Protein backbone atom coordinates (compact mmCIF):
# COMPACT_ATOMS: atom_id res chain seq x y z
CA UNK A 1 0.00 0.00 0.00
CA UNK A 2 1.19 3.51 -0.82
CA UNK A 3 0.57 6.88 0.81
CA UNK A 4 0.37 10.08 -1.22
CA UNK A 5 1.06 13.42 0.45
CA UNK A 6 0.25 16.57 -1.51
CA UNK A 7 -1.27 19.91 -0.54
CA UNK A 8 -3.34 20.13 -3.73
CA UNK A 9 -6.25 17.62 -3.65
CA UNK A 10 -6.51 17.49 -7.45
CA UNK A 11 -2.82 16.62 -7.84
CA UNK A 12 -3.06 14.10 -5.03
CA UNK A 13 -5.98 12.42 -6.80
CA UNK A 14 -4.01 12.17 -10.05
CA UNK A 15 -1.09 10.56 -8.22
CA UNK A 16 -3.45 8.20 -6.38
CA UNK A 17 -4.98 7.10 -9.67
CA UNK A 18 -1.52 6.37 -11.11
CA UNK A 19 -0.62 4.26 -8.06
CA UNK A 20 -3.83 2.24 -7.78
CA UNK A 21 -6.96 1.99 -5.68
CA UNK A 22 -5.16 0.77 -2.53
CA UNK A 23 -3.42 4.15 -2.19
CA UNK A 24 -4.23 6.43 0.73
CA UNK A 25 -4.09 10.23 0.40
CA UNK A 26 -2.99 12.42 3.31
CA UNK A 27 -3.42 16.21 3.13
CA UNK A 28 -0.24 17.30 4.93
CA UNK A 29 3.15 16.28 6.24
CA UNK A 30 1.87 16.57 9.82
CA UNK A 31 -0.89 14.09 8.99
CA UNK A 32 1.77 11.73 7.65
CA UNK A 33 3.85 12.03 10.81
CA UNK A 34 0.81 11.10 12.92
CA UNK A 35 0.09 8.21 10.57
CA UNK A 36 3.58 6.69 10.73
CA UNK A 37 3.43 4.38 13.74
CA UNK A 38 5.19 1.05 14.39
CA UNK A 39 3.71 -1.96 12.61
CA UNK A 40 2.64 -0.18 9.46
CA UNK A 41 1.95 -2.28 6.37
CA UNK A 42 2.56 0.58 3.95
CA UNK A 43 5.54 0.18 1.66
CA UNK A 44 5.83 3.58 -0.04
CA UNK A 45 5.35 7.26 0.72
CA UNK A 46 4.99 9.55 -2.31
CA UNK A 47 5.57 13.28 -1.79
CA UNK A 48 3.77 15.27 -4.49
CA UNK A 49 5.21 18.37 -6.16
CA UNK A 50 3.49 20.88 -3.84
CA UNK A 51 5.36 19.54 -0.79
CA UNK A 52 8.46 21.72 -0.52
CA UNK A 53 11.74 19.91 -1.04
CA UNK A 54 13.40 20.59 2.36
CA UNK A 55 10.34 19.28 4.22
CA UNK A 56 10.07 16.20 2.02
CA UNK A 57 13.75 15.38 2.45
CA UNK A 58 13.59 15.94 6.22
CA UNK A 59 10.71 13.49 6.55
CA UNK A 60 12.48 11.05 4.19
CA UNK A 61 15.47 11.04 6.54
CA UNK A 62 13.17 10.33 9.49
CA UNK A 63 11.40 7.51 7.65
CA UNK A 64 14.73 5.98 6.67
CA UNK A 65 15.68 5.62 10.36
CA UNK A 66 12.31 4.90 12.01
CA UNK A 67 10.69 2.83 9.23
CA UNK A 68 13.54 1.44 7.07
CA UNK A 69 11.24 -0.85 5.08
CA UNK A 70 9.17 2.09 3.82
CA UNK A 71 10.47 3.76 0.66
CA UNK A 72 10.10 7.43 -0.18
CA UNK A 73 9.46 8.64 -3.73
CA UNK A 74 9.68 12.31 -4.68
CA UNK A 75 7.50 13.73 -7.44
CA UNK A 76 8.94 17.02 -8.72
CA UNK A 77 7.91 19.37 -11.48
CA UNK A 78 11.51 19.35 -12.66
CA UNK A 79 14.29 16.88 -11.84
CA UNK A 80 17.89 18.05 -12.05
CA UNK A 81 21.26 17.00 -10.68
CA UNK A 82 20.95 19.09 -7.50
CA UNK A 83 17.58 17.53 -6.61
CA UNK A 84 18.95 14.04 -7.24
CA UNK A 85 22.01 14.75 -5.10
CA UNK A 86 19.92 15.99 -2.17
CA UNK A 87 17.54 13.05 -2.52
CA UNK A 88 20.54 10.72 -2.50
CA UNK A 89 21.73 12.07 0.84
CA UNK A 90 18.24 11.77 2.37
CA UNK A 91 17.82 8.13 1.35
CA UNK A 92 15.00 8.69 -1.15
CA UNK A 93 14.40 5.60 -3.29
CA UNK A 94 13.33 7.39 -6.47
CA UNK A 95 12.69 10.83 -7.99
CA UNK A 96 10.07 11.14 -10.73
CA UNK A 97 8.86 14.04 -12.84
CA UNK A 98 5.26 15.08 -12.26
CA UNK A 99 4.18 14.24 -15.81
CA UNK A 100 5.76 10.79 -15.79
CA UNK A 101 2.85 8.86 -14.26
CA UNK A 102 3.95 5.54 -15.75
CA UNK A 103 7.42 6.11 -14.28
CA UNK A 104 5.79 6.79 -10.91
CA UNK A 105 3.82 3.54 -11.08
CA UNK A 106 6.99 1.61 -11.94
CA UNK A 107 8.95 3.28 -9.12
CA UNK A 108 6.17 2.33 -6.67
CA UNK A 109 6.24 -1.26 -7.93
CA UNK A 110 10.00 -1.47 -7.32
CA UNK A 111 9.54 0.05 -3.88
CA UNK A 112 6.83 -2.48 -3.04
CA UNK A 113 9.06 -5.42 -3.99
CA UNK A 114 11.97 -4.05 -1.99
CA UNK A 115 9.82 -3.30 1.07
CA UNK A 116 8.40 -6.81 1.03
CA UNK A 117 11.91 -8.21 0.86
CA UNK A 118 13.13 -6.00 3.72
CA UNK A 119 10.26 -7.13 5.95
CA UNK A 120 10.92 -10.74 5.02
CA UNK A 121 14.61 -10.37 5.92
CA UNK A 122 13.67 -8.83 9.24
CA UNK A 123 11.32 -11.74 9.99
CA UNK A 124 14.05 -14.26 9.19
CA UNK A 125 16.54 -12.41 11.36
CA UNK A 126 18.60 -11.52 8.30
CA UNK A 127 19.67 -15.08 7.58
CA UNK A 128 20.69 -15.89 4.04
CA UNK A 129 21.73 -19.05 2.33
CA UNK A 130 25.43 -19.56 2.72
CA UNK A 131 27.36 -20.94 -0.21
CA UNK A 132 28.45 -24.48 0.45
CA UNK A 133 29.02 -25.99 -2.99
CA UNK A 134 32.07 -26.23 -5.21
CA UNK A 135 31.32 -23.37 -7.56
CA UNK A 136 31.18 -19.66 -6.77
CA UNK A 137 28.52 -17.20 -7.86
CA UNK A 138 29.32 -13.62 -8.89
CA UNK A 139 26.41 -11.27 -9.54
CA UNK A 140 26.96 -8.04 -11.50
CA UNK A 141 24.39 -5.38 -10.61
CA UNK A 142 23.45 -1.75 -11.11
CA UNK A 143 20.11 -0.12 -10.34
CA UNK A 144 20.65 2.13 -13.38
CA UNK A 145 20.76 0.92 -16.96
CA UNK A 146 23.61 1.75 -19.30
CA UNK A 147 26.42 1.35 -16.77
CA UNK A 148 28.01 -1.63 -18.51
CA UNK A 149 26.71 -4.60 -16.51
CA UNK A 150 26.56 -6.95 -19.49
CA UNK A 151 30.00 -5.86 -20.72
CA UNK A 152 31.54 -6.53 -17.32
CA UNK A 153 29.65 -9.80 -16.84
CA UNK A 154 30.56 -11.30 -20.23
CA UNK A 155 34.21 -10.27 -20.05
CA UNK A 156 34.52 -11.41 -16.45
CA UNK A 157 33.07 -14.79 -17.41
CA UNK A 158 35.50 -15.10 -20.33
CA UNK A 159 38.48 -14.25 -18.11
CA UNK A 160 37.41 -16.73 -15.43
CA UNK A 161 36.99 -19.48 -18.06
CA UNK A 162 40.61 -18.84 -19.08
CA UNK A 163 40.38 -20.62 -22.45
CA UNK A 164 38.94 -23.80 -20.94
CA UNK A 165 41.01 -23.94 -17.78
CA UNK A 166 37.77 -23.58 -15.81
CA UNK A 167 34.12 -24.19 -16.53
CA UNK A 168 32.09 -20.97 -16.29
CA UNK A 169 28.41 -20.27 -17.00
CA UNK A 170 26.96 -16.80 -17.46
CA UNK A 171 23.28 -16.56 -16.48
CA UNK A 172 21.28 -13.70 -18.02
CA UNK A 173 18.71 -12.61 -15.44
CA UNK A 174 17.56 -9.59 -17.43
CA UNK A 175 14.50 -11.63 -18.29
CA UNK A 176 12.76 -8.95 -20.34
CA UNK A 177 15.65 -7.37 -22.27
CA UNK A 178 18.71 -9.55 -21.78
CA UNK A 179 21.64 -8.94 -24.15
CA UNK A 180 24.07 -11.73 -23.28
CA UNK A 181 23.08 -13.80 -26.33
CA UNK A 182 23.55 -10.81 -28.64
CA UNK A 183 26.82 -9.66 -27.07
CA UNK A 184 28.26 -13.18 -27.38
CA UNK A 185 26.60 -13.76 -30.78
CA UNK A 186 24.90 -16.90 -29.59
CA UNK A 187 21.99 -18.57 -31.37
CA UNK A 188 20.55 -20.69 -28.57
CA UNK A 189 18.09 -23.50 -29.11
CA UNK A 190 16.74 -22.96 -25.59
CA UNK A 191 16.45 -20.12 -23.07
CA UNK A 192 15.55 -19.64 -19.41
CA UNK A 193 11.88 -19.70 -20.39
CA UNK A 194 12.15 -23.40 -21.23
CA UNK A 195 12.94 -24.19 -17.60
CA UNK A 196 9.43 -23.17 -16.52
CA UNK A 197 7.90 -26.33 -18.01
CA UNK A 198 10.31 -28.47 -15.99
CA UNK A 199 9.21 -26.83 -12.73
CA UNK A 200 10.00 -28.83 -9.60
CA UNK A 201 11.45 -31.65 -11.69
CA UNK A 202 14.31 -29.45 -12.92
CA UNK A 203 17.60 -31.26 -12.36
CA UNK A 204 21.19 -31.06 -13.60
CA UNK A 205 20.48 -32.95 -16.81
CA UNK A 206 17.42 -30.86 -17.60
CA UNK A 207 19.26 -27.60 -16.99
CA UNK A 208 22.26 -28.76 -19.00
CA UNK A 209 20.01 -29.17 -22.03
CA UNK A 210 19.15 -25.45 -21.86
CA UNK A 211 22.75 -24.20 -21.80
CA UNK A 212 24.51 -22.90 -24.92
CA UNK A 213 28.27 -23.34 -25.37
CA UNK A 214 30.22 -20.25 -26.42
CA UNK A 215 33.89 -21.21 -26.32
CA UNK A 216 36.20 -23.53 -24.34
CA UNK A 217 35.17 -23.24 -20.70
CA UNK A 218 32.46 -20.63 -21.32
CA UNK A 219 28.74 -21.40 -21.54
CA UNK A 220 25.59 -19.31 -21.23
CA UNK A 221 22.03 -19.71 -20.03
CA UNK A 222 20.36 -16.86 -21.88
CA UNK A 223 17.27 -14.74 -21.24
CA UNK A 224 13.94 -15.43 -22.95
CA UNK A 225 13.45 -14.08 -26.46
CA UNK A 226 9.96 -12.74 -25.70
CA UNK A 227 9.92 -10.01 -22.98
CA UNK A 228 6.45 -11.08 -21.83
CA UNK A 229 7.82 -14.41 -20.68
CA UNK A 230 9.65 -12.79 -17.76
CA UNK A 231 6.58 -12.72 -15.53
CA UNK A 232 6.24 -16.49 -15.72
CA UNK A 233 9.70 -17.29 -14.31
CA UNK A 234 9.44 -17.40 -10.49
CA UNK A 235 12.27 -16.46 -8.16
CA UNK A 236 12.16 -19.96 -6.63
CA UNK A 237 13.02 -21.45 -10.01
CA UNK A 238 15.94 -19.02 -10.42
CA UNK A 239 17.23 -20.06 -7.00
CA UNK A 240 17.05 -23.73 -7.94
CA UNK A 241 18.90 -23.05 -11.21
CA UNK A 242 21.70 -21.29 -9.38
CA UNK A 243 22.13 -24.12 -6.90
CA UNK A 244 22.35 -26.63 -9.76
CA UNK A 245 24.75 -24.43 -11.73
CA UNK A 246 26.93 -23.98 -8.65
CA UNK A 247 27.33 -27.76 -8.53
CA UNK A 248 28.15 -28.02 -12.24
CA UNK A 249 30.48 -25.05 -12.83
CA UNK A 250 33.54 -23.53 -11.21
CA UNK A 251 32.03 -20.06 -11.51
CA UNK A 252 28.57 -18.73 -12.29
CA UNK A 253 28.42 -15.09 -13.42
CA UNK A 254 24.97 -13.51 -13.20
CA UNK A 255 24.01 -10.55 -15.38
CA UNK A 256 21.02 -8.61 -14.03
CA UNK A 257 18.37 -6.04 -14.94
CA UNK A 258 18.47 -2.60 -13.27
CA UNK A 259 15.88 -3.55 -10.65
CA UNK A 260 15.59 -5.11 -7.20
CA UNK A 261 13.10 -7.73 -8.32
CA UNK A 262 12.59 -11.10 -6.66
CA UNK A 263 14.72 -12.93 -9.24
CA UNK A 264 17.67 -10.61 -8.65
CA UNK A 265 17.31 -10.96 -4.89
CA UNK A 266 17.31 -14.74 -5.29
CA UNK A 267 20.70 -14.35 -7.00
CA UNK A 268 21.96 -12.01 -4.26
CA UNK A 269 21.03 -14.58 -1.62
CA UNK A 270 23.29 -17.16 -3.25
CA UNK A 271 26.13 -14.90 -4.38
CA UNK A 272 29.65 -15.11 -3.02
CA UNK A 273 30.31 -11.66 -4.48
CA UNK A 274 27.98 -8.90 -5.64
CA UNK A 275 29.80 -6.53 -8.00
CA UNK A 276 27.96 -3.20 -7.94
CA UNK A 277 28.87 -1.18 -11.01
CA UNK A 278 28.40 2.53 -11.66
CA UNK A 279 29.61 5.31 -13.93
CA UNK A 280 30.61 8.91 -13.22
CA UNK A 281 27.17 10.51 -13.33
CA UNK A 282 24.86 11.64 -10.54
CA UNK A 283 21.91 9.30 -11.32
CA UNK A 284 24.20 6.25 -11.35
CA UNK A 285 25.92 7.27 -8.10
CA UNK A 286 22.55 8.01 -6.47
CA UNK A 287 21.24 4.58 -7.40
CA UNK A 288 24.46 2.93 -6.27
CA UNK A 289 24.29 4.60 -2.87
CA UNK A 290 20.72 3.42 -2.42
CA UNK A 291 21.78 -0.06 -3.54
CA UNK A 292 24.54 -0.25 -0.94
CA UNK A 293 22.20 0.99 1.78
CA UNK A 294 19.65 -1.62 0.75
CA UNK A 295 22.25 -4.39 0.87
CA UNK A 296 23.09 -3.34 4.41
CA UNK A 297 19.41 -3.24 5.40
CA UNK A 298 19.04 -6.76 4.02
CA UNK A 299 22.04 -7.81 6.13
CA UNK A 300 24.27 -8.82 3.24
CA UNK A 301 27.77 -8.80 4.69
CA UNK A 302 30.07 -6.07 3.40
CA UNK A 303 32.56 -8.83 2.60
CA UNK A 304 30.13 -10.06 -0.07
CA UNK A 305 29.83 -6.88 -2.14
CA UNK A 306 32.26 -4.60 -3.92
CA UNK A 307 32.07 -1.40 -5.98
CA UNK A 308 33.36 -1.21 -9.56
CA UNK A 309 33.59 2.06 -11.48
CA UNK A 310 33.13 1.79 -15.24
CA UNK A 311 34.38 4.40 -17.72
CA UNK A 312 36.35 5.71 -14.77
CA UNK A 313 38.56 8.07 -16.82
CA UNK A 314 35.62 10.10 -18.19
CA UNK A 315 36.16 13.85 -17.79
CA UNK A 316 32.73 14.84 -16.48
CA UNK A 317 33.48 16.86 -13.36
CA UNK A 318 33.35 13.89 -10.97
CA UNK A 319 36.25 11.74 -9.81
CA UNK A 320 36.58 8.33 -8.23
CA UNK A 321 37.52 10.08 -4.97
CA UNK A 322 34.23 12.03 -5.10
CA UNK A 323 32.33 8.79 -5.56
CA UNK A 324 34.10 7.05 -2.67
CA UNK A 325 33.36 10.00 -0.39
CA UNK A 326 29.68 10.00 -1.37
CA UNK A 327 29.30 6.24 -0.99
CA UNK A 328 31.55 5.88 2.05
CA UNK A 329 32.87 2.81 0.28
CA UNK A 330 36.07 1.91 -1.52
CA UNK A 331 36.11 1.46 -5.29
CA UNK A 332 37.97 -1.81 -5.84
CA UNK A 333 38.29 -1.59 -9.63
CA UNK A 334 38.32 1.21 -12.20
CA UNK A 335 37.62 0.22 -15.79
CA UNK A 336 38.66 2.84 -18.39
CA UNK A 337 36.63 4.07 -21.35
CA UNK A 338 37.42 2.78 -24.82
CA UNK A 339 35.85 2.89 -28.26
CA UNK A 340 37.10 -0.66 -28.72
CA UNK A 341 34.48 -1.96 -26.28
CA UNK A 342 31.41 -1.25 -28.49
CA UNK A 343 33.44 -2.36 -31.49
CA UNK A 344 34.10 -5.80 -29.98
CA UNK A 345 30.48 -6.02 -28.82
CA UNK A 346 29.35 -5.45 -32.40
CA UNK A 347 31.66 -8.28 -33.51
CA UNK A 348 30.29 -10.59 -30.80
CA UNK A 349 33.64 -11.21 -29.12
CA UNK A 350 34.39 -10.07 -25.53
CA UNK A 351 37.26 -7.60 -25.56
CA UNK A 352 39.02 -9.80 -22.97
CA UNK A 353 39.27 -12.53 -25.64
CA UNK A 354 39.74 -10.26 -28.64
CA UNK A 355 42.37 -7.99 -27.09
CA UNK A 356 43.62 -9.53 -23.82
CA UNK A 357 46.27 -6.83 -23.37
CA UNK A 358 43.86 -3.93 -23.80
CA UNK A 359 43.58 -1.64 -20.71
CA UNK A 360 39.90 -2.59 -20.31
CA UNK A 361 40.76 -6.30 -20.41
CA UNK A 362 43.59 -5.81 -17.95
CA UNK A 363 41.38 -3.85 -15.53
CA UNK A 364 38.72 -6.59 -15.52
CA UNK A 365 41.40 -9.27 -15.18
CA UNK A 366 42.91 -7.49 -12.17
CA UNK A 367 39.47 -7.25 -10.60
CA UNK A 368 38.95 -10.98 -11.17
CA UNK A 369 42.36 -11.81 -9.70
CA UNK A 370 41.97 -9.78 -6.57
CA UNK A 371 38.31 -10.15 -5.68
CA UNK A 372 36.77 -13.11 -7.51
CA UNK A 373 39.20 -15.96 -8.08
CA UNK A 374 39.44 -18.57 -5.36
CA UNK A 375 42.30 -21.05 -5.67
CA UNK A 376 44.79 -21.07 -8.56
CA UNK A 377 45.10 -17.72 -10.27
CA UNK A 378 44.24 -17.03 -13.89
CA UNK A 379 47.50 -15.11 -14.04
CA UNK A 380 50.56 -16.68 -12.45
CA UNK A 381 52.13 -13.22 -12.15
CA UNK A 382 49.82 -12.46 -9.22
CA UNK A 383 51.86 -13.10 -6.06
CA UNK A 384 50.63 -15.79 -3.68
CA UNK A 385 50.42 -13.44 -0.65
CA UNK A 386 47.77 -11.44 -2.53
CA UNK A 387 45.75 -14.57 -3.20
CA UNK A 388 46.12 -15.61 0.45
CA UNK A 389 44.86 -12.21 1.66
CA UNK A 390 41.92 -12.40 -0.71
CA UNK A 391 40.77 -15.75 0.62
CA UNK A 392 40.90 -14.47 4.19
CA UNK A 393 39.07 -11.29 3.23
CA UNK A 394 36.12 -13.23 1.90
CA UNK A 395 36.25 -15.73 4.75
CA UNK A 396 36.46 -18.91 2.72
CA UNK A 397 39.10 -21.32 1.49
CA UNK A 398 39.72 -22.76 -1.90
CA UNK A 399 37.50 -25.65 -2.82
CA UNK A 400 40.20 -27.22 -4.92
Give one DSSP letter per residue of 172-229, joined into a string: E--TTT--HHHHTT---S--GGGGTTTGGG--HHHHHTT-EEEETTEEEEPPPSSGGG
Q: Residues 116-149: pLDDT tens digits?
A: 777 766 554 444 444 444 689 999 999 888 899 9
163 Cβ neighbours under 8 A, 6+ residues apart? 215, 216, 217
DSSP class of residue 136? E
Give the number of other CB atoms < 10 A from CB of residue 221: 25
Of 73-82, 108-117, 239-248, the poorest mean pLDDT is in 108-117
pLDDT, position 123: 52
Give the number of other CB atoms < 10 A from CB of residue 377: 18
The CA distance from 328 to 110, in Å, is 25
Contact status, residue 198 vs residue 258, Cβ threshold 8 Å: no
Q: What is the 3-state secondary structure (H, E, C) of 373-397?
A: CCCCCCCCCCCHHHHHHHHHHCCCC
Most confident region among 100-109, 156-165, 298-307, 310-319 by mean pLDDT: 156-165
pLDDT at 385 over 50: no
pLDDT at 357 over 90: yes
Residue-range domains of the chain with CATH:
2-123 (3.40.50.2300), 136-393 (3.40.50.300)
Q: Residues 244-271: pLDDT tens digits?
A: 999 999 999 999 999 888 899 999 999 9
Give the mean model confidence (pLDDT) for residues 66-81.
88
pLDDT, position 53: 93
Contact status, residue 370 vs residue 386, Cβ threshold 8 Å: yes
Half-sphere exposure of 255 (CA within 13 A, CB side): 30
User: Which of 54, 37, 30, 41 has its CA nearest to residue 2?
Assistant: 41
The confidence band for 380, taking pLDDT boundaries of 50, 70 and 90, is very low
Give the number of other CB atoms < 10 A from CB of residue 2: 25
User: Which of 294, 328, 307, 299 has its CA nearest to residue 64?
Assistant: 294
The confidence band for 389, taking pLDDT boundaries of 50, 70 and 90, is very low
Q: Residues 26-63: pLDDT tens digits?
A: 999 999 888 877 656 678 999 999 999 999 999 998 88
> pLDDT above 70 covers what percent of the chain?
89
Amino acid sequence: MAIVVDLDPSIADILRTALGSDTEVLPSVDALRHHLVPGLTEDTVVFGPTVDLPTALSVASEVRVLHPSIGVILVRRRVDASVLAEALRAGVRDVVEERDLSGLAEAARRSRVLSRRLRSADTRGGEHASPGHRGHIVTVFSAKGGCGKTTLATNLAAILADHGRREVCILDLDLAFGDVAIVLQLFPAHTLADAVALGDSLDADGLKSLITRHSPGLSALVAPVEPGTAGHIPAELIGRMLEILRDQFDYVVVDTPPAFDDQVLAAFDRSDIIANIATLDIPAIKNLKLTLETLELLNYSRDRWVVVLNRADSKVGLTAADVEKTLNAKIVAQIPSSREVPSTINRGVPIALDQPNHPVSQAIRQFAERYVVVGPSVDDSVPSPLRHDRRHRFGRKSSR
